[in-house]
């Protein structure tokens, strides 16, 4: 395992030194990780928790790290020695990987000594922002297929460096992809790997037919041929059919063809007709080439005959939304007697005003349909009584309210780490994928659709809302210490 301890911003260390010098470093605090509302974000799929915890629980300032920090001439020897022995000793609460989550919700909460909680910020955001972003893009792409064929992640060559390709492949599986072309990711995470041939294979042989024959000879049980190197309908598909017939005569069943360019809707329909007439109705048509959820949706609306999808660049880079926008904010200080002192960040931008205090997150489900109704952010320890009706209201436009009844409340934040020890068993990746699929099925299509989705309700409990307004009012009037 690489030592990623210094995967942080310098100011985490300079603040840590300041906390240490002023004897605040052991003060217990609470930080929340969440993402803000964005016009392109209807929902997100939480991902990256396992890698985030690997970082958090294994940071070690080794001799080289200490020597480098010493060379910066910013820290004294006492502080460097403190860092050498620093380990994470706090608690972590988080939603499970694969859980659909929404803007403003605490998807990970840390309760720990101030220096530890602050130092963790950069790496946690780096890991969770990226994987959540890719898992979300993958989910949208896979949903766009409507269950018509599996989606293969083909993005490694366009990923922004090796780590993005490796962990991006993992996140793509969480979001719904069935396999990856990334062999290292396959090995590391036990992901099914998939792939066929490049155009260079076809171009290297004297003719397309000879190239197809050679590939069929090498992989008679898994023969999927790339047919668009020269002329898809006049050359590629006819040569593929010719080789398929030869395979059939030898007792093998050809797998199909892949289209990587051109008018994929038109070509797939023509190729389907040609293969059906030749006696290969079970041969699949796989397509690739700058696909995303919108192009897939368009292809299906045009009646394209496609059985499998290879999606690369626009998935692994989340081309239309290159950053999730997750943030990590202080929400409380906990006194030695256990008293929670709430903290809030204000802004002229309403969306940037944080929700104070140590909190919990609940999802409300209709008991009859099993479908999600709304999410509710509460104060820690506050109970949600699902035995009687509950009035929910918009946290800003408070006149918008409605009453829910006959519901059940499910807590979404689970204890992952307690006193610096992992207490949560991480599921296997395929189990996370199935969990995510199951959880998404509990949301009405109106909340998940690509265009003009209905806004899913994320509300504050009355107690939390009252606390927030009271703190805002006190600070705005200049009566609080924050204005001194």
Tokens for 191, please give them.
């992901």
Distance separating alpha carbons of residues 440 and 292, to the nearest angstrom = 19
Q: How confident is the model at residue 476 (pLDDT cuts 50, 70, 90)?
A: confident
Q: Are strands 414-418 and 421-422 parallel, antiparallel or unpaired?
A: antiparallel
Tokens for 251, please give them.
């007792």
Q: Is the pLDDT of residue 407 over 90?
A: yes
> To which residue do tokens 């009035």 refer?
391
Tokens for 397, please give them.
């436009």
Residue of 317, 230, 313, 245 lying closest to 275 (CA atoms): 245
Contacts of 371-374 with CB under 8 Å at 24 or more apart are 371/442, 371/443, 371/444, 372/442, 372/443, 372/444, 372/447, 372/456, 373/404, 373/407, 373/457, 374/404, 374/456, 374/457, 374/458, 374/459
Other beta carbons within 10 Å of 154:
26
Mean of the per-residue pLDDT values for the chain?
96
Q: Bridge partners of 119? A: none
Residue of 326, 328, 331, 353 lying closest to 343 (CA atoms): 331
The predicted structure's pLDDT at residue 479? 56
What CATH number was assigned to the domain covering residues 10-134+322-483? 3.20.140.10
- Per-residue pLDDT, averaged over 368-381, amounts to 97
Q: How confident is the model at residue 310 (pLDDT cuts 50, 70, 90)?
A: very high
DSSP symbol at 397:
S
> To which residue do tokens 């926008």 refer?
325
Tokens for 422, please give them.
């992992």
- Per-residue pLDDT, averaged over 390-399, amounts to 88
- Per-residue pLDDT, averaged over 171-200, amounts to 97
Q: How confident is the model at residue 481 (pLDDT cuts 50, 70, 90)?
A: low
- Per-residue pLDDT, averaged over 47-75, amounts to 98
The predicted structure's pLDDT at residue 40? 76
- Per-residue pLDDT, averaged over 377-402, amounts to 92
Q: Is the pLDDT of residue 480 over 70?
A: no
Q: Where in the chain is the domain with CATH 3.20.140.10?
A: 10-134+322-483
Q: Is the pLDDT of residue 38 over 80?
A: no
Q: Bridge partners of 332? A: 30, 342
In the CATH hierarchy, which fold is given to the domain comprising 137-316? TIM Barrel (3.20.20)
* Sequence-ordered alpha helix ranges (H) in 5-161: 10-21, 49-58, 63-71, 77-85, 114-119, 121-144
- Per-residue pLDDT, averaged over 361-382, amounts to 97
- Per-residue pLDDT, averaged over 306-322, amounts to 96
Q: How confident is the model at residue 483 (pLDDT cuts 50, 70, 90)?
A: very low
The predicted structure's pLDDT at residue 396? 83
DSSP symbol at 223:
-
Which contiguous run of DSSP H or E holds residue 463? Answer: helix 462-476
Give the lowest-confidence range in 29-43, 111-125, 307-321: 29-43
3-class DSSP assignment, residue 115: helix
Question: Do the beta carbons of residue 191 and residue 173 sit within 8 Å?
Answer: yes
Q: Is the pLDDT of residue 226 over 90?
A: yes
Question: Do the beta carbons of residue 304 and residue 268 sit within 8 Å?
Answer: yes
> What percentage of the chain reaches a pLDDT higher than 70?
99
Distance separating alpha carbons of residues 135 and 171, to the nearest angstrom = 5
Q: Is the pLDDT of residue 362 over 60?
A: yes
Distance separating alpha carbons of residues 361 and 348, to the nearest angstrom = 26
> What percentage of the chain reaches a pLDDT higher than 90?
92
pLDDT tens digits, 227-281? 999 999 999 999 999 999 999 999 999 999 999 999 999 999 999 999 999 999 9
Q: Is the pLDDT of residue 484 over 60?
A: no
The predicted structure's pLDDT at residue 225? 98
Distance separating alpha carbons of residues 354 and 269, to the nearest angstrom = 52
Q: Where in the chain is the domain with CATH 3.20.20.70?
A: 137-316
- The burial class, CB within 10 Å (0-12 / 13-18 / 19+), for 98 is buried
Q: How confident is the model at residue 2 (pLDDT cuts 50, 70, 90)?
A: confident
């Amino acid at each position: 395992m690489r030592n990623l301890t210094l995967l942080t911003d310098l100011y985490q260390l300079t603040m840590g030194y300041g906390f240490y010098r002023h004897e605040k470093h052991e003060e217990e605090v609470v930080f929340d990780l969440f993402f803000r509302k964005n016009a392109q974000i209807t929902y997100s799929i939480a991902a990256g928790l396992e890698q985030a915890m690997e970082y958090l629980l294994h940071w070690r300032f080794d001799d080289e790290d200490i020597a480098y920090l010493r060379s910066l001439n910013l820290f004294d020897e006492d502080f460097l020695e403190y860092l050498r022995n620093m380990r994470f000793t706090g608690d972590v609460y988080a939603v499970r990987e694969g859980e659909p989550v929404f803007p403003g919700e605490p998807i990970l909460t840390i309760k720990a000594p101030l220096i530890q909680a602050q130092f963790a910020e950069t790496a946690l955001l780096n890991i969770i922002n990226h994987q959540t972003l890719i898992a979300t893009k993958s989910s949208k792409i896979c949903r766009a297929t409507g269950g018509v064929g599996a989606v293969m992640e083909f993005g490694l060559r366009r990923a922004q460096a090796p780590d993005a390709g490796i962990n991006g492949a993992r996140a793509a599986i969480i979001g719904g992809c069935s396999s990856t072309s990334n062999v290292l990711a396959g090995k590391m995470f036990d992901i099914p790997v998939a792939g066929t041939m490049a155009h260079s294979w076809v171009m290297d042989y004297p003719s397309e037919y000879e190239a197809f024959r050679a590939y069929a000879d090498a992989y008679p049980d898994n023969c999927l041929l790339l047919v668009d190197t020269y002329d898809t309908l006049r050359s590629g598909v006819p040569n593929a059919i010719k080789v398929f017939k030869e395979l059939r005569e030898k007792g093998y069943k050809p797998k199909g063809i892949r289209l990587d360019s051109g008018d994929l809707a038109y070509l797939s329909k023509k190729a389907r007709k040609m293969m059906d007439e030749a006696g290969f109705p079970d041969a699949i048509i796989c397509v690739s080439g700058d696909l995303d959820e919108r192009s897939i949706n368009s292809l299906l609306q045009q009646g394209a005959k496609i059985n499998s999808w290879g999606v690369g660049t626009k998935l692994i880079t989340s081309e239309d939304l290159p950053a999730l926008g997750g943030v990590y904010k202080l929400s409380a200080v906990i006194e030695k007697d256990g008293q929670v002192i709430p903290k809030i960040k204000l802004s002229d931008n309403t969306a940037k005003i944080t929700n104070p205090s140590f909190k919990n997150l609940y999802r409300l489900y209709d008991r009859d349909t099993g479908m999600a109704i709304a999410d509710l952010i509460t104060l820690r320890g506050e109970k949600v009584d699902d035995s009687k009706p509950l009035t929910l209201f918009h946290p800003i436009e408070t006149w918008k309210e409605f009453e829910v009844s006959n519901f059940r409340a499910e807590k979404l934040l689970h204890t992952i780490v307690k006193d610096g020890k992992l207490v949560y068993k991480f599921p296997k990746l395929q189990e996370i994928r199935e969990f995510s699929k199951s959880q998404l099925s509990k949301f009405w299509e109106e909340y998940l659709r690509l265009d003009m989705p209905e806004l899913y309700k994320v509300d504050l409990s009355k107690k939390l809302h009252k606390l927030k307004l009271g703190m805002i009012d006190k600070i705005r009037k200049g009566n609080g210490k924050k204005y001194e």
